[in-house]
Amino acid sequence: MKRISLTQYLVEEQRQNNTIPAELRLLIEVVARACKTISHAVGKGALGEVMGSAETENVQGEVQKKLDIISNEILLEANEWGGHLAAMASEEMETIHPIPNRYPKGEYLLLFDPLDGSSNIDVNVSIGTIFSVLKAAEGMGEPTEQDFLQPGSQQVAAGYAVYGPQTVLVLTTGNGVNCFTLDREMGSWVLTQRNMQIPAETREFAINASNARHWFPPVTRYVNELLAGDAGPRGSNFNMRWIASMVADVHRILNRGGVFMYPADAREPGKPGKLRLMYEANPMAFIVEQAGGAATNGARRIMDVQPEKLHQRVPVFLGSKSEVERVTSYHQA
Ligand code: AHM
Ligand code: MG
């Protein structure tokens, strides 16, 4: 089988479909290279002195792991000097990171969750990196937080890496979804799945059921119907999976269908769900839609939500279209 590298894929895509300008191609390659470095650090585990807590808190008040901070640094350093970016924003940093004046500036904005699934780092369960690319407004001066507050529909690229038994990179530039596997010996990304499509029908769902007592009625109704199995209104048995790494749950759904939910619940009204719109929900929604699935916040398409804050949280329902449409319709009933 002829191996197609990430570089070759991007160059051909640029030539044939004109969807990837040269600067964006460079950006994606730099992010992919950073993910390779993160994968290496993650893979060292206890041998790399990278495990455990850094004893600091991020802007969300969550205790940071050493690998959260290392991954953030890797992405910042890799992307600073290439000339393709105006600024970056990260789940792990309070405010935006403009490109330092000593480097040339480009027209893109990069957002990332450097290491998603933090609770799984120390227990050797799959974790990953999620990223989203926006275009800076024309004639933008010194970048501000405001420049990042664009709805997900404005994304020009999004992707995630999973550091699991294999390291994979899943990418969209708005022309379908492709998966690349890291060849660890060669150090290169090889195209291994073209035009991924989420199966429309599914018998699998993902939700943290320990929060069931806090759920709002539409979620309770939907999950109860699934749990009722073939004797219930759905007339079919459903299986449940919850990895607690969104990257791994979404990757499973891209490959064999399913629905992923992190709803808002009654615990903290000011905190609608756990996942962040800009670093997690938007890029995953872009990928899922590009693979024929759907992603909503229960009321509307996630990518239509106008962001108000960089670190804003949003309820998430994503995956196979028919299931996402059903649970969304229960919110409107
Ligand atoms: P993180 O970015 O701090 O790792 O949090 C996001 C993660 C998701 O990957 C995952 O779906 C969710 O948190 C799991 O949350 P919980 O521990 O509440 O089940
Ligand atoms: Mg994270």
Q: How many residues does the chain have?
A: 333
Within the chain, how many helices (H) and strands (E) appear? Answer: 8, 15
199 in a structural domain: no
Q: Could you say which of 160, 193, 226 is where a domain stops? A: 193
Report the atom number in ligand 1 closest to the C-alpha of 262.
Answer: 11
The first and second tokens of residue 22, run together, are: 């040269």
Which residue type does 38 have?
I
Q: Could you say which of 143, 171, 193 is where a domain stops? A: 193
155 in a structural domain: yes
- Residue 217 and residue 138 in one domain: no
289 in a structural domain: yes
Q: Could you say which of 164, 193, 222 is where a domain stops? A: 193
137 in a structural domain: yes
Sheet of 239-240: strand order equals 239-240, 204-206, 259-262, 316-319, 294-296
- Residue 219 and residue 166 in one domain: no
**The CATH number of the domain where 307 resides is what?**
3.40.190.80
Q: Residue for token digits 């979404």?
A: 250
pLDDT at 17: 81
Q: What is the pTM of this model?
A: 0.96
Is residue 205 a contact partner of residue 324, using CB atoms and an 8 Å limit?
no
- Residue 237 and residue 127 in one domain: no
* Residues with Cβ within 8 Å of residue 76, at least 6 apart in sequence: 88, 90, 97
Residue 101 neighbours by CB distance under 10 Å:
8
- Residue 212 and residue 189 in one domain: no
187 in a structural domain: yes
- Residue 34 and residue 166 in one domain: yes
Give residue-wise pLDDT tens across range 224-265: 999 999 999 999 999 999 999 999 999 999 999 999 999 999
The total domain count for the chain is 2
Helices 217-227 and 321-332: crossing angle in degrees, nearest 10, is 140
pLDDT at 203: 93
- Residue 127 and residue 218 in one domain: no
Find the 242 Cα to ligand 1 centroid distance in Å: 10
Find the 120 Cα to ligand 1 centroid distance in Å: 9
> Distance between CA atoms of 127 and 155, rounded to whole angstroms?
23
- Residue 243 and residue 150 in one domain: no
Which residue type does 296 have?
T
**The CATH number of the domain where 21 resides is what?**
3.30.540.10
Find the 244 Cα to ligand 1 centroid distance in Å: 5
Pocket-forming residues, ligand 1, beta carbon under 6 Å:
62, 113, 116-119, 208, 244-246, 262, 274
- Residue 162 and residue 35 in one domain: yes
- Residue 77 and residue 188 in one domain: yes
321 in a structural domain: yes
Report the atom number in ligand 1 closest to the C-alpha of 117.
Answer: 4
pLDDT at 1: 73
E strands present in the chain: 53-57, 63-65, 85-90, 97-98, 108-116, 127-135, 157-163, 167-172, 177-183, 188-193, 204-206, 239-240, 259-262, 294-296, 316-319
- Residue 281 and residue 166 in one domain: no
Find the 40 Cα to ligand 2 centroid distance in Å: 18
52 in a structural domain: yes
Report the atom number in ligand 1 closest to the C-alpha of 247.
Answer: 9
- Residue 149 and residue 209 in one domain: no
- Residue 117 and residue 15 in one domain: yes
Residue nearest to ligand 1 atom 11, measured at CA: 246
> Which H, E and C letters describe 90-111, residue by residue?
ECCCCCCEECCCCCCCCCEEEE
pLDDT at 234: 97
Is residue 263 a contact partner of residue 215, using CB atoms and an 8 Å limit?
yes
Ligand 1 pocket: which of 115, 120, 246, 265 to mutate (most atoms within 8 A of CB): 246
1 in a structural domain: no
Which ranges of the chain have pLDDT less than 70?
Answer: none
Domain coverage including residue 323: 204-332
